[in-house]
Structure 1
Amino acid sequence: MQSKSSTLLAEVRTFRQNHPEVRYVDLIALDIPGHFYGKRYPVEMLEKVAAGSPLKLPQNAVLLGAQGGLFKIGDYCFNDGDPDANRRLVPGTLKPVSWEAQPLGQMLITSDGTDAPIEFEPREVLAKVLERLHRKGIHPVVAFELEFYLFDKKLDDGLPQFARDPLSGDSDDQPNLHIERLSRFGTVLDDMAQTAKAQGLDITVITAELGPGQFEINFGHLDDGLRAADWAALFCRSTRGVALKHGYRASFMAKPYLQHPGSGMHVHVSLYDPAGNNLLAAHQQQPLRHAVAGCLELLPHCMPIFSPNHNAFRRLGGTVNAATRACWGFEDRDACVRIPESDPRNLRIEHRLASADANPYLVLAAILVGLEHGLDAGLEPIAPLNEDRNSGADFPLEMLDAVRAMQHQPALREGLGAEFVDVYCENKRQDHLAFQQEIHAREYRWYL
C-alpha cells in the first residue's frame, strides 16, 4: 500500500509530465466568508511539499472578513502573534487552470488531517461532523445544486447589467426553463461545464432559471461529503473565470436584482448504514421524520451560515420558492426542507434555504448536525405544508438577530464545535457592522 506522500508525489509528477507548460500552481482553501485564499507555488516546490516538506500559511487567513480585513475575535489576529498553521495537500485535486492568461495549476489545501487542525476552518468543521457520523454508522450521500447569474462584463456605475443575448444583442428575457436560452448562451455554458469536468467535477443537469441570465448547475451524488463540498467551491471559482474569458461576469450573489429571484444552494442528503441500506426509509420512514424535525429545530439557529451576508437576507421573502419560515413538505418547492418523490433506496431530503454564496462546507455541516440532532433525540416534525399551508416556525431575518440565535444554541455548539461557533458568530457580527459603516446616497435623499 502506497503512503500518502508517495501517492501525492506521483500525482504531482504525473501532472508535470502531462502539463509541462505549467510553472506555477495555486494552493487554495476556502475561508469563513467563502473566498479562496492561498499561495502560488513554483511547481518544483510543490514536489517537495508532496514529498513531506512543511506547508504553512497564517492561521488567521481563515478569519478574513468579506473584504479581506482582519477582525479582533477573542485573542485571534491581534493578540496571538499571527501564527502559521500547517496545511496539507488534498489528494486528487491538482488540476490545470484554463481560464487564466498564463498556464497554471491549482490544488486544494486544508488543515484537516494535520497534527493541529484549525478548529474554525470550514473544511475541518465538516470533516469532524462526517467523522462523528461515520463512527455512528451513518454515511451521507450528498449532491449540491447551485444557481448563478450571468451579467454583462461591464458594470454601469457599479450596478450589474443583464447579460446580452449573443444572437440579438438584447438583454436575455427568455422564460423559466426555456431551452432556447441554453442554446443562445451555449458557448459559455459548455465551456463552464467542460472546465468543471476538467477539474474532476461531475456536472450533470444545466437549467435556465427564472431570472434573466440565471442558470442552475446540478452535481452528481457523492458518498464523500468533503468531496461534494469541494466540488461546489471549485465550481464557483472556475465559473467566474470562464465567464470573464467570454466577456461576462458570473456571480453567485444571493439577490442581485430585487425584482427577480435570488440564487440558492440546494443540497440533497440521504443517509445509509455500512451495508448500504437507506436509514431514512427504515420503519415506515420514521427516521425521515426525526431527521426533518432536527433540521427544522436547528434551522433558525443556523441562519448566519445559510444567509451569510446582508444581501443574502434579501432573498428570503416575496420571491419564488424561497421560504420565510422553517417548514417542510413532500414535493413542495416552497418548503425549506423538501422531500423529493423517490423510491425507498433513494429517499432523501433537499435542503433549499441556503443562498448560493454560502460556504458549502459549513452549509453541509449545519444540515448534517440538524439531521443528527433529530435522529438522536427522536424528534417529531410539525405538519408538512401539504397538510397545512401555514405550518412553519419563524427564523431570524436580520444578521445580528441571527448571530444571537446561533451563538448559544447547545446542539450547534456541540455539533459544530464551540470554538467554531464563537469565532464564526463574531466574524459575521463584525462583517455586518463594517458593512453598515457607509452612508448610502439614498439616506441623503431621504433625510438630508
Structure 2
Amino acid sequence: MDDISSAQIFFEGNPDIEVLEAFVIDVNGVPRGKWIPRERALDVLAKGMAMPRSVYALDVWGRDVNAAGLAEGTGDPDGICLPIPGTLSRVTWLNRPTAQVLLGMRDTDGAGFYADPRQVLANVVAGFSKLGLTPVVATELEFYLIDPVRSALDPVRPPNSREGRWHTGQTQVLSISELQDFEDVFHGIASAARAQGIPADTTLRENGPGQYEINLNHVPDALKAADYAVLLKRIVKGVARANDLDATFMAKPYGSQAGSGMHVHFSLVDEAGRNVYAGEDGPSEMLFHSVGGLLENMGESMGVFAPHANSYRRLRPSEHAPTYASWGFDNRSAAVRVITASKPATRIEHRVAGADSNPYLVLAMILNAALSGIKEKRNPGGAITGDDHAVSHEPLPTNWDYALQQFARSTFAYATLGPKYRALYTACKQQELAEFATRVTDVEYDAYIRTV
C-alpha cells in the first residue's frame, strides 16, 4: 500500500479531523511548520508543502541566522517538504481534532536537503549499510514537569503534588507514589504515544523535584529512533500543557538539582540479524573499537551533545553526567557504559548528550564515531572502575564557547555532518552565543550593582 492510500484510509477512519499540523525539525530540534485544513491535507501529503529553506537555519529564538547562508543574499527560496512515511497520526492532546505529519525537505534535484538534520543522520546510516550493518537504537529522555511558565522572568517551580505540596529537598528517585501524583499526565503521554505508533516503554521518577524519565524501545532503524525521540518530546510538552503544567527538556532548569540527559543505547546487527557487539566470551572486538571511536571524537562532538549555554551546567562531577571521555562495564559514572546482560542485549550506552539536544544530530555524531572506530580499529584503553571523576582522563569541554571552537574546526564534524552543515550549525550557535554575551544576568546585578 502506498503512502497516499494510507493517508486516504487514515482520513476516512478519522472523519472528525479538521486540520493537519505539518512540520520539519530545525537545527535546535524545534518543530516548525504550518496548519493545513483538512480539505487540502491529501494534496499536501501527495505533492509536498513549500517552506523556506532558511527554516533549518534559525537560532533558538526563531530568528534568521544570515551567516548560515540560507536567508540573506539568497532570496530566501522555498524547498518542497514531503511526508516521512509512517508519521501521519492523531494529535490527542488538543481540543480541536487534529492530525500531524513529520516532513523532510528535498533539494532541487529531489535528493534530501543538506540542511535537514534528518538527512544528516541518513547520510551516516548509509555508511553502515555499505558494511552490511544496521544500528539498533533506543533513547532515554529525562525531563521536568513544572508549574506553567507565564514569563521568562518568572522562577521555575516544581508542580504541586496531589497533596498540594512538593518537598524540593527530597530526591525520591523511583518513587511510585510520585508517578501516581501525575497519573493523568502520564496516562495522556502513553495514550498519545500509542496513537502515534511511538514505542514508549518504561516511565520512572528521576532524581530532581518533578523530574521523570521515559524510555523508548530499541528499533533497527536509527532514523525512526530519532523520529520517535523528537515526537515524544512534542507529546510530553503538549500533554503537560493540556494538564495545566509545562514540561521542560532544558538540561539544567535548577542549578542545585539533577540535570536532564538523553542517553543513547545502541548495538549493531549484521545482515543475518546477529548482534556483532556480542562475542563468544563477552563483548566483541568491534564493540571495543566502537568505544575507541566514541572516546576519540567525544570532545569535538560536545557542541552537538551540549548545544546550549545552559547545557554545561549539567556536566558536573558526581551527578551521573560525564565530565571525562571514559568507558566502563555497567558504570554510570563513565561517558560510555558497556552493557553485557546477555548476548542479544550486549550494547553501548552513550551518556553524554543532554535532553536539550537534537536527536538526529546526536545520533549522527555517536554512530559515525563508532563507525570510525571500527574502520580504524581504535583501542579504547582501559575501563574505569568506581567513580570516573576520581581518575585521570581527557576532560570534556566545560563551557559553550570552547566547545563551539573545537566543533568549528573539527575534522570529525566535517566528515560526519559535511562541510556545509558544520558551517551552518556553527553559525547558528555563534549567533546564540553572541546574544548571551550581551545579556546582563540577575547574578551580576546582585553581585556588583552596589558593591563595586
Q: State the TM-score, normalizing by the size of structure 2.
A: 0.94
Asked if residue 165 in structure 1 is aligned to residue 166 in structure 2, the reply is no
**% of aligned pairs identical?**
34
1:432 aligned partner, one-letter code: L
> Which residue matches 2:373?
374
Asked if residue 38 in structure 1 is aligned to residue 37 in structure 2, the reply is no
How many angstroms does 1:38 deviate by? Answer: 0.8
> Which residue matches 1:149?
144
CA distance in 2, matches of 1:354, 1:74: 24
Map 1:209-288 onto structure 2 (within 5 A).
Answer: 209-282=206-279, 285-288=284-287
> Which residue matches 1:70?
64
CA distance in 2, matches of 1:207, 1:234: 19
**Residue aligned with 2:184, SS:** helix
How many angstroms does 1:170 deviate by? Answer: 3.9
> Which residue matches 1:206?
203
> Which residue matches 1:443?
444
> Which residue matches 1:176?
173
Asked if residue 19 in structure 1 is aligned to residue 20 in structure 2, the reply is no
What do residues 318-368 of structure 1 show as CA deviations (whole Å, max 9, x unaligned)?
452111111111110011110123222221100011000100011111100
How many angstroms does 1:61 deviate by? Answer: 0.4
Q: Which structure 2 segments of 5+ residues have no match?
A: none
Question: Contact 1:385–1:391 at 8 Å: present in 2 too?
Answer: no
Q: Would you say how many aligned residue pairs link Structure 1 and Structure 2?
A: 442
Asked if residue 28 in structure 1 is aligned to residue 55 in structure 2, the reply is no
CA distance in 2, matches of 1:267, 1:442: 35
How many angstroms does 1:247 deviate by? Answer: 1.7
CA distance in 1, matches of 2:150, 2:334: 35
**Residue aligned with 2:344, SS:** helix
**Residue aligned with 2:264, SS:** strand
CA distance in 2, matches of 1:383, 1:299: 16
> Which residue matches 1:400?
401
How many angstroms does 1:74 deviate by? Answer: 4.9
CA distance in 1, matches of 2:124, 2:202: 29
CA distance in 2, matches of 1:166, 1:74: 48
Correspondent of 1:193 among 161, 176, 190? 190
CA distance in 1, matches of 2:223, 2:14: 27
CA distance in 2, matches of 1:445, 1:144: 40
Q: Which structure 1 segments of 5+ residues have no match?
A: none
How many angstroms does 1:427 deviate by? Answer: 1.1
2:57 aligned partner, one-letter code: L
CA distance in 2, matches of 1:329, 1:43: 52
What do residues 388-434 of structure 1 show as CA deviations (whole Å, max 9, x unaligned)?
75142122111221111112222331122111111111211111111
Map 1:96-107 onto structure 2 (within 5 A).
Answer: 96-107=90-101
Question: Contact 2:339–2:345 at 8 Å: present in 1 too?
Answer: no
Asked if residue 59 in structure 1 is aligned to residue 58 in structure 2, the reply is no
2:181 aligned partner, one-letter code: R
Question: Contact 1:11–1:92 at 8 Å: present in 2 too?
Answer: no
Distance 1:72 1:334, change over 3 A: same
Question: Contact 1:112–1:127 at 8 Å: present in 2 too?
Answer: no
Question: Contact 2:93–2:188 at 8 Å: present in 1 too?
Answer: no
What do residues 152-187 of structure 1 show as CA deviations (whole Å, max 9, x unaligned)?
125585111111101344456461111111122222
Distance 1:81 1:269, change over 3 A: same
Question: Contact 2:69–2:424 at 8 Å: present in 1 too?
Answer: no
1:392 aligned partner, one-letter code: H
Q: CA RMSD in A?
A: 1.8
Asked if residue 422 in structure 1 is aligned to residue 417 in structure 2, the reply is no
**Residue aligned with 1:41, SS:** strand
**Residue aligned with 1:281, SS:** coil
> Which residue matches 2:119?
124
**Residue aligned with 2:310, SS:** helix
What do residues 285-319 of structure 1 show as CA deviations (whole Å, max 9, x unaligned)?
11111100100111100111100100011100145
**Residue aligned with 1:147, SS:** strand
CA distance in 1, matches of 2:88, 2:273: 30
Distance 1:190 1:425, change over 3 A: same
Question: Contact 2:309–2:433 at 8 Å: present in 1 too?
Answer: yes
Using the TM superposition, name which of 11-20 and 251-260 deviates more. 11-20
Question: Contact 2:146–2:246 at 8 Å: present in 1 too?
Answer: yes
How many angstroms does 1:104 deviate by? Answer: 0.9
Question: Contact 1:382–1:391 at 8 Å: present in 2 too?
Answer: no
Question: Contact 2:57–2:68 at 8 Å: present in 1 too?
Answer: no
Q: List, as ranges, runs of 4+ consecutive aligned residues in structure 1 with deviation greater than 4 Å.
A: 154-157, 171-174
How many angstroms does 1:117 deviate by? Answer: 2.3
Question: Contact 1:143–1:220 at 8 Å: present in 2 too?
Answer: yes
CA distance in 1, matches of 2:167, 2:34: 38
Using the TM superposition, name which of 289-298 and 437-446 deviates more. 437-446
